[in-house]
Every structure is written in C-alpha cells, then in structure tokens.
Amino acid sequence: MSFKDLHLNPKILKAIAELNYNKPTPIQQKTIPFVLEGFDVIGTAQTGTGKTAAFALPILDRLSQIPDAKKGAKKIKALIVSPTRELAIQIEENFKQFSHYTNLRTTAIYGGASMQPQIEILKKGVDILVATPGRLLDLHKRDLIVLDYVQTLVLDEADMMLDMGFINDVKKIESLCPCQKQTLLFSATLPTKIKILANELLTTPKNVSVSAISSAAKTVSQELYMVGKPKKIELCLHLLRNYISGNIIIFRRTKFGVNKLEKTLQKHNYKVDSIHGDKTQSARTKALNKFKNKEVNILIATDVAARGIDIPKLDIVLNFDLPNIPETYVHRIGRTGRAGAKGRALSFCSVDEKSYLKDIQELIEKKIAVIDEHPYPLDPKAKPEIHKKKGSKYKKGRKSEASKKKKKRWY
Ligand code: AMP
C-alpha cells in the first residue's frame, strides 16, 4: 500500500513526500481508512510506530476539504489531548509539517510556559489544538477556548494520562466537546482501566493494533546486569568507557536520581543533559534539542518527562533503575530499535528491584539475558533493604503531616 492508495489530499502527500515518508507504516495503513470514514478508533501502538501521522493525516485531510469561508473556519475542529508538554510540542510540530501546503493552523498549549503567548495565538484562531489537560481546562474556564466546533477528539498516550491521574480531566474535556464527534484513543498498552474508559467515551470503535499488547520490540536486544545499588554508578561508567556509545537515554525513576547521575557523568566529562518534571519547559526543550542536534549524546530522564518524545536514531536505552510499572519498561525500550533498526536496551537490577524484574519478565513473557561478566556483580546473599522498621513512626498507614498536605511529584 502506498500513501496515494489512501487518497489523501495532494497537498498533504507533497508534504509527507518531502519528509521522506515513502510508505505508510502498519498502524497508518490500518488506522487512516477508519478515521477517514469517521469511525471512532482504539489504537494500540508503541511509540515509534508512526501513530502520530496515523491520526494527523486523516484529520488534516478531512479539515482541508472544508472551505475557509464556511462556518467554523479558524475554530478548533480537532483537539488532541496529550499527557506531557514535550509530546504536545512534538504533535504540534508534526501537524505543522504535514499541513505545510494547506491553510490549516495548529497550535499547542501546555503548562509550565507563559500563558500570554498561547492566548495570543488562540485569539487569532486555530483549526487544530494540541493540549495538555490542565492548561486546556484552565484556559477553557477563562473562556479563551471554544470547543463547540470540535469534530475529532484524540486522546493520545491514554494509559499515561491515566497513570498521571488525568482521568477526570480527560472525561471533563470530552464532555466539553460536542456529543456528535469522532473520538480516537491511542495507548501503548491496553489495560482494563483503558478498556473501561474507551467503553465510556467511544461509540462502536474500531480496534487497531500493530503488535501484541505489552510486547517489546523484536528488534531490541535486551541485557540485564545484576548489580548492587551503590555500585550502579561504577557499572554505568564502566559500560560507557568500554562497551556502549552513540545516542543513549538513561532512565531513572526519580528526578533526584536524574540530577545526581547528571552531576557524576559531567564530572567524568561526558556530554550529558537531562529532563524531568522539575525543570522549566524551556530547559526541557533546550535539553532535548541539544540531544537531537548531537551536542550531547547522553540524555538522562524520568519516564514522565520522556514519554512519547520522538528521538530518531537512538542507539541505547539504559535502565539505570528498573521501573516499578512493568508497562513502563516496554515504553522505555521501545525508543530504540525503531523502524526496523537494531537497538539495545540495558537494564540494571539491584536486589531491591527483583520484584520489578519479575513483573517485567511476566509481562514481556521472556527472561532477559543476564550479563554476568562485569566487575560489580550482585552479592548472591544480598537481601533487600528493610525500609519500615517495627515500631518506627513511619509505619504503614501513618503519614506525616507534610505528606498529608502535599503529595510531592517524584517524576
Ligand atoms: P511516532 O510513532 O508518531 O512518534 O513516529 C515515529 C517516527 O517515525 C517519527 O520520526 C516519524 O517522523 C516517523 N514516521 C512516521 N510515519 C512514517 C512513514 N510512513 N515513513 C517514514 N517515517 C515515518
């Protein structure tokens, strides 16, 4: 199948040809016809499969057929909701590239950035709005956004939105759009809670999927290093010195961990930058651009900050910490081995993380190959750290006043 077989607007075909999209990817082949026909869709696809174009191209095709003079011109007709700012920016970029030869306007609004420039663009009128849930609801409450003309609503990375606690925001946003609309829901994994949400929000949807749910990309070789927690940094330096090179993303579970590792690697003269939830939007965008432009070859990130970001030609994903949510492992390693290219995913596992490893291996239905030959092997007798001592004031069920008042984000 070629893009021409999908009968897309020649202006869109011209733009994607210039981006060297020669052939639709499997998710695009399956999704585009359904979206063009007006069906609701549940799309299960990992990052890197081309899912952005799978919904963007048919949306643009339909919108480009509406004459400018018609009612609704420069009103929001497609709304894409994304869990993170980085992903929102990227989707906006993609829409702008694909619609280059049309008159359609796209903008993105997201938290962590000044509201005023976003408001100015909204006032001029846009056809396609990409938004994170909080900023969208905020601007809607101030009467700066009209959703009455929305024809297509896209919920991207739906599983992530639920993990981040956006479920009520997502439902609210859906209810602010007209009843008669097309809804597209994309998710890397399809746990029960997503199925329930889809059932609630979508009408007789078509299911499209490009790989077995929760399966890891086949082109990624996976390696496991059992290592004591205090020795992880030495192992990381050892691997960087001797065995791994190219573009590397290192994942840590917490922003504190990200900062600590960044400082250590900088001390050892590695070209490194980082992204996590405590960094300003401009710092995050700058770090990402430095990585894309190869000014730095190592990016350290938490999962939330890195989710959905498209970094082409990633050679290695290093899981410095194993994620406690097994699906996150699949998301992380899906960043390498893209579009048929070979990738490598290395994971460190300390004794405390063995239970995470068990969950991950159950999910991907295979054992990850253990690399024994390294200088910092885990002591086979090592026991997990005991965090809660009997009689301690930090006993289960007893929260400090501070933690009751404010649950601090750790990602
Ligand atoms: P996505 O999964 O939407 O983040 O896309 C992953 C990467 O694949 C991006 O760099 C896209 O520009 C690229 N891509 C998407 N569709 C195609 C296609 N049909 N041909 C070549 N590259 C594509």
pLDDT tens readout for residues 118-170: 999 999 999 999 999 999 999 999 999 999 999 999 999 998 898 888 999 99
For ligand 1, atom 20: residue with the closest CA: 21
For position 405, what pLDDT does the model report?
40
Q: Are 308 and 160 in contact (CB under 8 A)?
A: yes
CATH 3.90.1150.10 for domain 220-370, yes or no, is no
Identify the band that residue 305 occupies on the pLDDT scale cut at 50, 70 and 90.
low
Instruction: List phi, psi (to 5°) of 344.
Output: -130, 135
User: Ligand 1 in contact with 49 (CB < 6 A)?
Assistant: yes
- CA-based nearest residue to 152, from 187, 186, 109, 181: 181
Q: Are 411 and 305 in contact (CB under 8 A)?
A: yes
Q: Are 83 and 306 in contact (CB under 8 A)?
A: no
Whole-angstrom Cα distance, residue 130 to residue 375? 48
What is the distance in A from the centroid of ligand 1 to the CA of 37?
22
Query: pLDDT tens digits, residue range 218-274?
Result: 678 899 999 999 999 999 999 999 999 889 999 998 889 999 999 999 999 999 999
**Could you tell me how many residues make up the chain?**
411
For position 135, what pLDDT does the model report?
97
Which residue out of 30, 49, 208 has the highest number of ligand 1 atoms within 8 Å of its CB and is therefore the one to mutate?
A: 49
Hey, what's the torsion of the CAs at 161, 360, 331, 48, to 10 degrees?
-140
User: Ligand 1 in contact with 117 (CB < 6 A)?
Assistant: no
DSSP state of 316: E
Query: pLDDT tens digits, residue range 13-29?
Result: 999 999 988 889 899 99
311, amino acid identity = I
User: What separation in angstroms does the CA of 346 have from each of 59, 222, 234, 370?
Assistant: 38, 6, 15, 10
Give the DSSP H or E segment for 187: strand 182-187
For ligand 1, atom 1: residue with the closest CA: 50
To the question of pTM greater than 0.85 for the whole model, the response is no
Query: pLDDT tens digits, residue range 47-63?
Result: 677 899 999 999 999 99
For position 214, what pLDDT does the model report?
46
Whole-angstrom Cα distance, residue 85 to residue 304? 10
Selected from 3.20.20.140, 2.160.10.10, 3.40.50.300, 3.40.50.280, the CATH number assigned to the domain covering 3-210 reads 3.40.50.300
Q: Strand 78-81's sheet: what is its strand order?
A: 106-109, 128-131, 78-81, 152-155, 182-187, 41-44, 206-209
Q: Do domains 3-210 and 220-370 have the same CATH topology?
A: yes
User: Ligand 1 in contact with 52 (CB < 6 A)?
Assistant: yes
Domain ranges of the chain: 3-210, 220-370
User: Ligand 1 in contact with 50 (CB < 6 A)?
Assistant: yes
